[in-house]
Chains A and B, each alone.
Chain A
Amino acid sequence: MARVHHDVLSVEWVKLELIRTAYATRGGLFASMDPRAVVVWYIGLAIVPWFTHNITVLAGLFAIGVISIILARVGPLILGLFVLGMGMEVVYMSVAAWLFGGNVDTLIALAALNLKLGVVALASMAAFVSLDPEKLSDALIAFRAPQMLAFGVSYGYRMLPILIEEFSTVFEGYRLRTAPPPKRGLLGWRVGAQWAQMVVLSFYPIFLNTAKSVRTTVEALETRGFTHAGADASGRRIRMAKLRIRPRDVIVVVVTAIAVVLVFAAGAAWPLYR
């Protein structure tokens, strides 16, 4: 089989997708909002589904979630993983229910749980795809999360692309420097097993390299006043001064709230397996 260049479903593609997701490069409704409003919106939508067993309500909430991820312009990788995850969950639950002698009721109950998880997942995607690291860490500081947590989140985002890059280099090194298994095995399982082994082994050099480079980071943080900011509130005040709640933020939260109320009303009118 001739080798050709792939733009999609390659390591490079995964890296680009993760970066696009992490840095909210696709824009979208929530990306232009105040991060505090986004977090409030997210918490609201993530809690609501747990107060009901009504399938009508849950289906309505799910629809709100779907609309949000369209507005948030979620990328294909994350969406694909979500659909795959939901699909596998449904298949697995059905098989389990059937094996253990469940009936339609069991399936309905499981569907309700799946719908709840689905709503939370959709809301999370919409919110976190839209928050770039700066906004997220500002929002965390605004809600008085520990400074270490807020910084850790933003630092994690900064390291992400570099770690992916390093991982692909190390993995490539393993791939080129070890021989492929002599026999492929049934459905190529030996090849799969070797790949899995290499993926795990590739983390070892990366951890060691990161541990080494973090030494400089910690010293640099010290010289750039990180500990000073922990003891002194003026830094926090400056960060908060950048945030503004605008009409659009209020509108989005209010519209969502109204939609949720309408969904509950619809659920009361046409209840399904309450």
Chain B
Amino acid sequence: MSDPVIVIENLSFRYPGADSDVLRNVNLTIERGDFVAIVGGNGAAKTTLCKTFNGLIPHYWSGEFAGIVTVDGVDTYTSSVSELSTRVGYVYQDFQNQLVRPTVRDDVAFGPINFGRTSYRDDSDAALDSLGISGLADRHVWQLSGGQAHLTALAGALALKPEVIIVDEPVAELDPARAEEIYERLTELNRDHGVTVITIEHHAEFVARYARSVVLMAHGSPVWHLPVDDALRRTDELEMHGIPAPQAVQLVRGLGMDAAPRTPADAAALLADRPIAPDAVVPTAADVAPGRVVAEARGVTHGYKAVGGGITRVLDDLNTTLRSGERIALVGGNGAGKSTLLKLLAGIIVARDGEVTIDGRSTRAVSAREMSSTAAYLAQHPQLMFLKGSVRDDIALFPRSRRMPDAEGIVDRVIDRVELHALAHRDGRTLSGGQQRRATLSIGLAMRPKLLLLDEPTSSLDTRSRDDVTTMLAELADSIECTVVATHDMQLVAEWASRVLVLEGGRIIADVAPRDLFSDIALWRRVGLRPPQISLLGRELGLDPVPLSVAELFDAYDACGARTTAEVA
């Protein structure tokens, strides 16, 4: 029986001062207890749509509002944000800014206390408990990792016991393993507590695995609202709106099957009647052999003072050598010391003990400012790298200040290279996530370093911008001798890296090729990594070595097919 929790009829909305409607004649019904994924390209008004559910539109953003939105039987137009907020919880994309109190317990209780609920203590404890983060209650919000902060924001919304929870792009600011945890929790809430969950999502993999129905938005109105299985079959349509199908779906459909497997295991089951030899994947030959030594770490030990006194050890007697021609991925869990190692390798900080040598010079003998022309470090948050009023000035800051001969020429070439012409005059902060990454990459390139160190260059990017950055990194090989990337993004590791350093407990526990990492289930489980879907599928199919890309597995099937045809003939 139909029991809609949200009903939208002929809704149109225009932001004050805008020339055209953001939402155009939207008609949509969301059933109680559903798990809905709202997908669509940038500017499809997904977030705007969700803000009509809790009354932020039209009460906080007062624009031209037409149509009727009914939430849990209440007409939002005659209601208020406060009243609707107890029915609809909202977790923002930049959820860090949603936490307003210093400690977790206090932040979660903030809503219930404001609404004068005497049960606030039980409510917030129950919310913390249902998300499995009771242990964090006394932490300060600035001590939390990204995943913990997201769960705290979610708990803050849950403490008001809403009927509907909206989560705006959980994957954007979290690494895939954390995002998966968020989705598991949302699934529990949906299944065990009957909460209606609405997520805005770019990543088809998550949609496939967790959602029950999918709304595709384009140009301010829904194109369709379909059960997830039907939605995933429309790969071309999704691709057109900037949502490439999950790797497993790409493969299965590429092999001519009309199916949309939701997980690698499902895909393997579908492929059961297509035998493939265990050694069918032929790794492409390794490119150029590593050359001269670019940087070297010997016996590096480092740690930070903690708030309570004492030293938290981050790196422990670490040794490694980086050579020219290498594309190195640095992987490991949160707090494994990836950023610290990058900063040491850039000579920005010096270790408590041990020696780092860059291009033959010890970092203890050369100041950080001098070393920056040999080793460039790009921080994790791009917006903190925009110091000037325009992208061009930011790129030019280093060459101009160092009085490099032909500074303007360098800047022009970098802008050419990264194709930033259209954006060069804009303030970096106003760009989209993918554009910001490209801009910071150009800042690094204009420093013309031998060693380029990047901290999480693909985090918080949608699939398409992510692919752009990966491609660009691959193209840099000729101008940078050695690139090191600290990352959680295993697809980047699979497609780009030539060598992976696995960091855990302050040491490098493995120094392997990407394929070996994804073949070694004990290793990736130990450090909490999540291989790309295609490698997981390869493992399900019993392949060794595992494939690193959809194309590799295609080729493997092709080769098998060719072989069987030949045998028949």
A213 touches B97 (CB 8 A): yes
Which segment of A40-48, A55-63, A81-89, A156-164 sits at the interface? Answer: A156-164
Shortest Cβ distance from B411 into chain A, in angstroms? 13
Q: Which 4 pairs from chain A and chain B are nearest by CB?
A: A234-B116, A225-B114, A229-B114, A216-B97
Across-interface contacts of B94 in A (CB, < 8 A): 213, 216
**CB interface residues, B 66-115, toward A, < 8 Å:** 81-82, 85, 89-90, 92, 94, 96-103, 106, 110-111, 113-115
Interface string of A165-208 (1 = CB under 8 A from B): 11001101111111110000000000000000000011011001
Which segment of B216-224, B359-367, B492-500 sits at the interface? Answer: B359-367
Contacting residue for A20 out of B142, B307, B349, B427, CB 8 A: B307
**CB interface residues, B 342-373, toward A, < 8 Å:** 348-352, 363-365, 367-370, 372
Cβ-based interface call for B417 (8 A): no
B387 touches A158 (CB 8 A): no
Shortest Cβ distance from A71 into chain B, in angstroms? 19
Cβ-based interface call for B418 (8 A): no
Contacting residue for B102 out of A157, A170, A209, CB 8 A: A157
**CB interface residues, A 197-242, toward B, < 8 Å:** 201-202, 204-205, 208-209, 212-214, 216-217, 219-229, 232-235, 237-239
Cβ-based interface call for A23 (8 A): yes
Shortest Cβ distance from A219 into chain B, in angstroms? 6
A154 touches B116 (CB 8 A): no
Cβ-based interface call for A249 (8 A): no
A178 touches B307 (CB 8 A): no
Shortest Cβ distance from A163 into chain B, in angstroms? 10
Known: A173-B385, A205-B384, A217-B97. A224 touches B372 (CB 8 A): no
Across-interface contacts of B103 in A (CB, < 8 A): 134
Cβ-based interface call for A5 (8 A): yes
B120 touches A170 (CB 8 A): no
Cβ-based interface call for B8 (8 A): no
B113 touches A12 (CB 8 A): no
Interface string of B133-154 (1 = CB under 8 A from A): 0000000111000000000000
Contacting residue for A222 out of B60, B369, B372, B403, CB 8 A: B60
Contacting residue for B397 out of A157, A158, A178, CB 8 A: A178
Contacting residue for A208 out of B100, B305, B367, B429, CB 8 A: B429
Cβ-based interface call for B118 (8 A): yes
A12 touches B304 (CB 8 A): yes
A225 touches B447 (CB 8 A): no
A167 to B416 CA separation, bound complex (whole angstroms): 31
A-B contact count (CB 8 A): 171
Across-interface contacts of A220 in B (CB, < 8 A): 90, 92, 97-98, 100
Across-interface contacts of A175 in B (CB, < 8 A): 368-369
- CB-based nearest B residue for A172: B348
Which A residues lie at the B interface, using CB under 8 A? 2-5, 7, 12-13, 16, 19-20, 23, 25, 132-134, 151, 154-155, 157-158, 161-162, 165-166, 169-170, 172-180, 201-202, 204-205, 208-209, 212-214, 216-217, 219-229, 232-235, 237-239
A224 to B351 CA separation, bound complex (whole angstroms): 44
Q: Number of contact residues on B: which range applies?
A: 35 or more
A sample of 24 cross-chain residue pairs with beta-carbon separation below 8 angstroms, ordered by A number, consists of A5-B349, A5-B351, A5-B352, A23-B307, A132-B102, A134-B102, A161-B142, A162-B142, A173-B379, A177-B397, A177-B447, A178-B397, A178-B401, A204-B387, A205-B387, A213-B96, A213-B97, A216-B94, A220-B90, A220-B92, A220-B100, A225-B82, A232-B115, A237-B116
A201 touches B387 (CB 8 A): yes
Which B residues lie at the A interface, using CB under 8 A? 54, 56, 60, 81-82, 85, 89-90, 92, 94, 96-103, 106, 110-111, 113-118, 120, 140-142, 156, 160, 302, 304-305, 307-308, 348-352, 363-365, 367-370, 372, 377, 379, 381, 383-387, 397-398, 401-403, 427, 429, 443, 447
Contacting residue for B118 out of A216, A217, A233, A238, CB 8 A: A238
- CB-based nearest A residue for B306: A16
A170 touches B100 (CB 8 A): no
B369 touches A235 (CB 8 A): no
B383 touches A209 (CB 8 A): yes
B398 touches A177 (CB 8 A): yes
A3 touches B387 (CB 8 A): no
Shortest Cβ distance from B165 into chain A, in angstroms? 12
A205 to B427 CA separation, bound complex (whole angstroms): 11
B114 touches A226 (CB 8 A): yes
Contacting residue for A224 out of B116, B156, B350, B385, CB 8 A: B156
A151 to B369 CA separation, bound complex (whole angstroms): 41
Across-interface contacts of B305 in A (CB, < 8 A): 7, 12-13, 16
Across-interface contacts of B111 in A (CB, < 8 A): 224-225
- CB-based nearest B residue for A237: B116
Across-interface contacts of B302 in A (CB, < 8 A): 5
A238 to B160 CA separation, bound complex (whole angstroms): 16
Contacting residue for A238 out of B113, B350, B377, B386, CB 8 A: B113
Known: A213-B97, A223-B90, A227-B82. A16 touches B307 (CB 8 A): yes
Known: A132-B102, A180-B369, A235-B116. A173 touches B387 (CB 8 A): yes
